[in-house]
Amino acid sequence: MGLGKTIWASPADYLRRMAADTPVLFFAPAILQDTVRRFVRGFPGLVTFAVKANPEEQVIENIAAAGVGGFDVASVPEIRLIRRLLPDAVLHYNNPVRSRAEIAEALGHGVASWSVDSASELDKLIAAVPAAGTEIAVRFKLPVAGAVYDFGTKFGVEAEAAVALLHRVAEAGFVPALTFHPGTQCTDPATWATYIQKAAWIADRAGVRIARLNVGGGFPSHRVGADAPALEAIFAVIGAETAQVFGDDAPLLVCEPGRGLVGEALSLATQVRAVRDGDHVFLNDGVYGALAEAPLLGAPGRLELRDAQGVLRRGEARARVVFGPTCDSVDRLPGLIDLPGDIAEGDHLIFHSMGAYSTATNTRFNGFGDLRMVTVLDLA
């Protein structure tokens, strides 16, 4: 995927003049930089970017240009990517399971912080990583709701076991820290408060003063609904709760948003390949492409339909079954989607808030998966 040299005013401007018969991701650097600045200004600590949400080079470069110098990486290829683009970036290697070869290469790239959620993986780090000045964050989990999709089924250790791990981290001479991820697209500030309370409990039980508390990603983007989620309200709760429960021992805060930083900056334009017998809508992109998250999180809710000339359709809404292009039955948006009744072959269905987990999870299944990225000044 490459970026075209031309910058268009908007998706409609492009669709009016260009044939868009492969899916197009419209990227608005101005919106990305605005969101980054909102985090940097509003979050009461250090803002880093979770690279997996969108590793496109232009995206990384715009995030860095807007003031973020730290990156949450989960693999050696992500580490190499960030080192190549930004030689001075700070790397937090927060995949709590790593091979010894991956640890060795990450060390060579100067990783500053690591996370763990098991004694066996901590043993590997103690054996391979010099302790002085290096942070190890113990990742814990809680059985709380608030997010659309819970990451706690794979990573994170229960609070009781986190006490012992944190104690060992400090004893081995590393800079002790705690981390959690509240689950992705988490709209409830109280979820962060609950985790922060438990972090204070873990540190107290372990008898360890933690240097930093990494409150994860999970910050919501405007995927559905009329109103955008209130990021500032979440930032305020994180700051206030940390001050309240840690008091004089308050750690420095770190966050590592993926979706919350990049979601709003890209919109996906698909083309209607067919309206089969007036009923089922077939798009040229689906769950094996940029819409990979739909089965997990629900269909993206902010849509607009434009005809082949880019003009907005305003027909009375009608619920439709919407399929992607592949021959697999699961290649379907969940539920029924309300679309203007005058939808026709050749139209473009545009999904907003598609910047996260879209470029990176796109596959080549069934020969589809061509995805063009086009730069625009604005997405409206």
Ligand X SMILES: *Cc1c(COP(=O)(O)O)cnc(C)c1O
- Give contact residues for ligand X (rule: CB under 6 A): 50, 52-53, 72, 94, 181, 184, 216-219, 256-260, 356
What secondary structure, in 3-state letters, does 81-99 show?
Answer: HHHHHCCCCEEEECCCCCC
Query: Smallest distance, Å, CB 27 to ligand X?
Result: 17
CB of 115 vs ligand X, minimal distance in Å: 7
Distance of CA 50 to the CA centre of its chain: 6
Q: Which residue is nearest to ligand X (CB)?
A: 217
Query: Can you tell me the distance from the alpha carbon of 366 to that of 364, in angstroms, rounded to the nearest whole number?
Result: 6
CB of 157 to ligand X, least distance (A): 14
Which CB atom, from 154 or from 364, has the smaller least distance to ligand X? 154
Q: How far is the CB of 237 from ligand X (least distance, A)?
A: 16
Cβ-based nearer residue to ligand X, 216 or 286: 216
If the CB atoms of residues 94 and 284 are measured against ligand X, the closer one turns out to be 94
The CB-of-14 to ligand X minimum distance in angstroms stands at 27
Q: Which of 217/289 has CB closer to ligand X? A: 217
Polymer length of the chain: 380
DSSP 241-294: HHHHHHGGGPPEEEE--SHHHHGGGEEEEEEEEEEETTTEEEES--TTTTTTTH
Which of 260, 340 has the CB closer to ligand X?
260
286/102 Cα distance (integer angstroms) = 33
Beta strands in the chain (DSSP E): 3-8, 24-27, 46-50, 70-73, 90-93, 113-116, 135-139, 175-179, 212-214, 252-255, 266-276, 280-283, 303-306, 317-320, 322-323, 337-340, 348-351, 372-376
Query: What's the burial of 210, exposed, middle or buried (CB within 10 Å: 0-12/13-18/19+)?
Result: buried
Smallest separation (angstroms) from ligand X to the CB of 297: 10
Provide the minimum distance between the beta carbon of 283 and ligand X in the complex, in angstroms, as a whole number. Answer: 24
Query: Which CB, 216 or 340, lies closer to ligand X?
Result: 216
CB-wise, 53 or 163, nearer to ligand X? Answer: 53
Q: Which residues contact 234 (CB under 8 A, 6 or more apart)?
A: 189, 192, 219
Asked if 205 contacts 246 with a C-beta cutoff of 8 angstroms, the reply is no
Rg, Å, the chain Cα set:
22
19 in helix, strand or coil? coil
In angstroms, the CA 38 to CA 165 distance is 35
Least distance between ligand X and beta carbon 180 (Å)? 9
User: Which residue's CB is nearer to ligand X, number 216 or number 289?
Assistant: 216
Do residues 14 and 20 touch, judged by C-beta distance below 8 A?
yes
Closest distance to ligand X from the beta carbon of 53 (Å):
5
Q: Closer CB to ligand X, residue 11 or residue 189?
A: 189
Written as six digits, the tokens of 50 are 């979770």
Closest CB 317 distance from ligand X, rounded Å: 30
Q: Helix crossing, 57-65 with 76-85: angle to 10°?
A: 60
Nearer to ligand X, 65 or 296 (CB): 296
